[in-house]
Structure formats: C-alpha cells, structure tokens
Amino acid sequence: MTLRFPLLMLLLAAGAAAQDWPQFLGPTRDGVYAGKLPGLKPAWKRDVGQGFSGPVAVGGKVMLFHRLADKETIECLDARTGRPVWTYGYPTEYRDDFGFDEGPRGTPAIADGRVYAFGAEGMLHCLDLASGKKRWSVDTRRKFGSAKGFFGAASSPLVEDGLVLLNVGGPKGAGVAAFDAETGETRWSATNDEAGYAAPVAVSIGGMRHALFFTRNGLVDVDPAKGEVRWEFPWRSRSHASVNAAAPLVIGDLVFISASYGTGAALLKVGEGKPARVWASDEAMSNHYATSVHRDGVLYGYHGRQEFRPSLRAVEVKTGKVLWSVDGFGAGTVTLAGDQLVLLKENGELAIAAASPQAFRPAVKVQALPGTVRAYPALADGRLYARNEKTLVCLE
C-alpha cells in the first residue's frame, strides 16, 4: 500500500455529512458521492453467492442481490456488522451461455421504503424495505417476450416519480417500460429496441424531465411521465457480438454516451427537437461496461475492451481531447468522491487519486479483495462496500 500524508488526513477527517447509496451509480445516478471518503480498515466481510449486482445502502442497511444455489436472493444486512436482517429468495433457472457467472446482473434500487430488484431472467420484484415481504412481482420476459440476449437481463431499475423504469428489450413496442412503483402495473412501454446493458437515467434539462435509455440500438429520450419518445440517436457497433453497457452521463445540457466494439463515444447537446452532435470519436473514450465520471469539464474513465487491459483516461468534455492516459491500467469501475477518484479494479485493487486533468497520481493503493471484481462498489455513511465472486467486504 502507498499512502501520501495529505490524503491520509482527508480520509481520517470528518468530511461531509453521511449520505446513502440507494441505487446504481449512487444518489444522483452519475457515480458521484458527496459524503466523506472511507478509511481503509476492514470492518467486516461475509460470503456471497453468484452475481455482478452491486450493493446498495440506505439508513444503516445494505442490500445484496445474489444467487444462492437455485434461488436469486435479495438479502438485507446490518451496515455496521454485516449480519442478516431479512432474506427473500425466488427460484431461477438462468444459465449463462458463455460459462460466466449465473447470478443477477442489475443493481437494486431503494425508494420510498421499497426495494426493487431485476433478475437475470427478467423477474422484477418489489419488496418492503423494513420486513423483506413481497409487495409485487412482474415476469417481464413472459409479459413482453424479450430475448435472453448475450448475458441475460441486466438493467438496473430506476425509480422516477412513482414509476420504475427499465430497459427490458421487448419487441412490439416494449423495448423500454415503466411500472407503477406501488402496484407493478405497466404504465407505459415504448420502442422496439433490444435491451442493452446500460442503466436508464432521469434528469432535468432546460426545465424538462428526460428519461434516457441506452438500448442496443442507441440513445432514446422518453418523457418519463407519459412514455412518449422525443427522439432517438442511433449508436451501435457494426459487430453483432456487441453490447451498449455504460450508462448515459448528463453534464448540464450535454449527454455523453460511450461503447466499445469499435463504436466509440459521442457528446450530444440537448435542446428542442433532436440533439446536436458536438463530437464523436472511437479514439477518445470507449467505455466497455464501466460508466465514466465527470468533474470540472473533464471525463475520467476506461478506454478499450475489458479483456484487453483498457487504459485509464482523462478526456476534455467539450472537445474529446485526451488529457492523459495510463495504458494497460486494466478494467474496473470509477466513482467520484468529492474531488477524488475511487477506482476499484477487476483484480481487486482499490486506488484513490485526485481527479486532476494534469496527471494520474494515485495516493492510495490497497488490495481490497481478491479478483475477480466486476460489481460496482457502494459508498455510504463513510463506508465502502465491495464484492467479488465470493465475498462482500466493508471498509470503514
């Protein structure tokens, strides 16, 4: 481990107020955490089942979505101790066609005292946060006829104004859909797009609310209340064996999308009517599965395919200019905590560095977990929760 004194003081300082991590990519759905950075002391760890689903944490509870034997299992843990509070499981027969992990992929969402989880076979569940009792469930594959795809269903639910938004990939007008958060009834569906692996985001641009879905065909802007498609921006690889996996990243009235497989990145300016392309490039920032983060006009993220040791890069938002690049850095996830990049690599190494456009200078490097780590971590209340294929660990 390497540790520079100024950052050590930052880690030990009281920092900002406590903050929850209620959904994929955090409270603002952009990989940004406003609370204090965690320390490096392991508080607890526990065995987990299969899955690439990341943990979420709210109000002293940590939610884990994993597969135990032949059940997809949603488990509520005490954030201080890791001890189970309640467990809910349901049968699954999901088999991965490529011999990879056979657990759930999507990260749960917590909102208004309920937990929403979307499994690898397309089962959407709503549970009571306090008790774990089932409120409702929808078999989206049976309901909409969506295909299995390469790696099963993987959209992380987004709760938006009483609706649960999902990238379900159903044909005949059910590519994306919204469900009543309280009852599970389908409120609307739209597009014929196959599902990508990117999570939807909802933002306000120009006084208007937008639900952005990065489907397999490209970016779709939907009125989240009515389900009306405002515009579509095609963005797909020419290769059939490809996916769109990184979530759209909104910066003011700009939307950044990125994919691998020779697709590359595009920056769009959103106004009235169809968006205007600011720039597009396959040489700037081709995110394979991890979403980039933004700070002060600079994007930080991974460029290149996961299996080919991608670079870690800083890219100027408005131009796509590469400011610095660490070649062969290796795949992982990136989170922004204040002005610090929190990088959890696939090999289990945790690195913390200032989000600087000048250079990458990691002040902390520690082995948080053995590899392989694919799930996003969660930062909540001064703790970091991270999981690999067998273990969930809490650092505080």
The pair of three-digit structure tokens given for residue 74, joined into one six-digit string: 């949603």
Start-to-end CA span in the chain (Å): 17
The pair of three-digit structure tokens given for residue 20, joined into one six-digit string: 């929850």
Q: What is the pLDDT of residue 289?
A: 93
DSSP, collapsed to helix, strand or coil, labels residue 11 as helix
As beta bridge partners, residue 256 has 249, 267
pTM of the model: 0.94
Pick from 226, 197, 230: nearest CA to 214: 197
Do 165 and 202 meet the contact criterion of CB atoms below 8 Å apart?
A: yes
Q: Report the C-alpha gap between 140 and 334 in whole angstroms.
A: 30
Q: How many other C-beta atoms are found inside a 10 Å radius of the C-beta of residue 334?
A: 23
What DSSP string describes 42-95? EEEEEE--B--PPPEEETTEEEEEEEETTEEEEEEEETTT--EEEEEEEE----
Q: What is the pLDDT of residue 46?
A: 96
Q: What is the pLDDT of residue 184?
A: 98
Q: Report the C-alpha gap between 327 and 324 in whole angstroms.
A: 10
Residue 382: alpha-carbon gap to chain centroid: 20
Residue 302: alpha-carbon gap to chain centroid: 14
Phi, psi of 97 (to 5 degrees): -70, -15
Q: What angle do CA 160, 164, 166 make, to 5 degrees?
A: 115
| 119-151 pLDDT tens trace | 999 999 999 999 999 999 999 999 999 989 898
Please provide the average confidence, as pLDDT, over all residues in the chain. Answer: 93
Mark the ranges of the chain whose per-residue pLDDT is less than 70: 1-18
Q: Which string of b and e fits 175-184 if b means at least 16 CB within 10 Å?
A: bbbbbebeeb
